[in-house]
Amino acid sequence: MIRIFVIVFAMISSVAIADTLALKQDRPQTYVVKKGDTLWDISSFYLQDPWRWPELWGANPQVSNPHLIYPGDILTLVFINGKPRLVKKPHKKLSPHGRIISKNNAIPMIDLGVIQPYIVQNRVETDQWLEGKAMVVGGERESRFHMLNDVIYIDQPLKVGQKLALYEPGRELKAHGEDLGKELVLTGSGRVIESGKVSKLKILNSLRETRAGFYALPVDEEAMMSAYYMPSPGTTNATTRVLAIANHQREAGQLNVVYLDRGQQAGIHPGQVFDIFRDGDEIVIDADGQPIQTEDRSAYDDMMASLSADNAVTVPDTFRGKLMVFKVFENVSFGLILLDDRPVRVGDKIMTPTSGAIARE
């Protein structure tokens, strides 16, 4: 059972997708909810594409709010107007002892634990946006590195009591021949304790060492809150590719975070789900009409392939997995890999997800 951790929007509305839901052949007719289940988990027993769980639950006449489903509930697959739906069988009222369950024990959609560090910490901003922003210039303690409870100096007058987040400048993100922004990684946060031409800030939360040259930015209270997602098929008005892997590794897999080279300007928004594809290799055909694999090609083979389309053939793109966008900036987005058929690499492209027809027994 795929376990993905994310909390999502409580009220479900139907998702408009042109094709029909693809049901698994070995799906159960009924399912008893267990402690630790998520709606994603349960939907994975029934759907070939578990991210489309809003459609399986959305038009449910008995469960208008699917997140109010508890361990012990019995779910049954039915067809309403020809569409598959999971419905909850009503519990028989027990007397004199009723069924007492805390409302906090309702199963979640998906738990945000995996991506919470990126929701709260990482951000991408342009150099223009960062120009003139407050910066750490040193600290009271004679050290180049500052940690919890240290008092540090900020190069601007700031309001006493103001809370600031401290960010380490990271990678310069570039694509399409332009600068997309600078990666910023949270190192800590604190409050201003003294205002002046150079203000003093006490570090109250430390994730890693803070140094001179780090940015001190107002805390984005909205980003600190739990985020809510309603999965929907992703579309973009421009070719979009994996720009970087958040943990700096060469390849990414399930539950890893990747950066995409498009954002709000390309129509991307949180909750969109995309398929990930690797561009198909170009196979060179030699003078004898024999195919030459990419790893065996010489400079001469490359030259011949460039001279005529008859000297090369491009094989189909290969499916790598699926991702869900969970944070979007102007020109960059963050996505969580929901499933990986093969490792995902920088340069892989994302496309609107596809699905098969309903498979009935």
Residues 160 and 256 in one domain: no
Tokens, residue 298: 């010489």
Residues 129 and 96 in one domain: no
Residues 54 and 134 in one domain: no
**Which domain does 331 fall in, by range?**
232-280+316-351
Full-model pTM: 0.68
Residues 32 and 86 in one domain: yes
Instruction: Point out the domain boundary residue: 111, 145, 164.
Output: 111
Residues 193 and 244 in one domain: no
Average confidence score pLDDT of the chain:
79
Number of domains composing the chain: 3
pLDDT band at residue 17, thresholds of 50, 70 and 90? very low
Provide the pLDDT for residue 350: 95
Give 162-187 pLDDT, tens digit per residue. 999 999 999 999 999 999 999 999 99
Determine the Cα–Cα distance for residues 236 and 265; give it in Å rounded to an integer.
Answer: 9
Classified as helix, coil or strand, 100 is: coil
Mark out the alpha helices in 110-152 (DSSP H runs): 116-120, 127-130
Q: How far is CA 180 from the centre of its chain?
A: 19
Determine the Cα–Cα distance for residues 328 and 326; give it in Å rounded to an integer.
Answer: 7
Determine the Cα–Cα distance for residues 53 and 4; give it in Å rounded to an integer.
Answer: 13
Angle 174-180-181 from CA coordinates, rounded to 5°: 105
Q: Flag whether 328 is in a domain.
A: yes
Sheet of 312-314, strand order: 291-292, 282-285, 312-314
Give 51-74 pLDDT, tens digit per residue. 777 778 764 444 445 556 788 888
CATH number at residue 339: 2.40.10
Tokens, residue 197: 């031409």
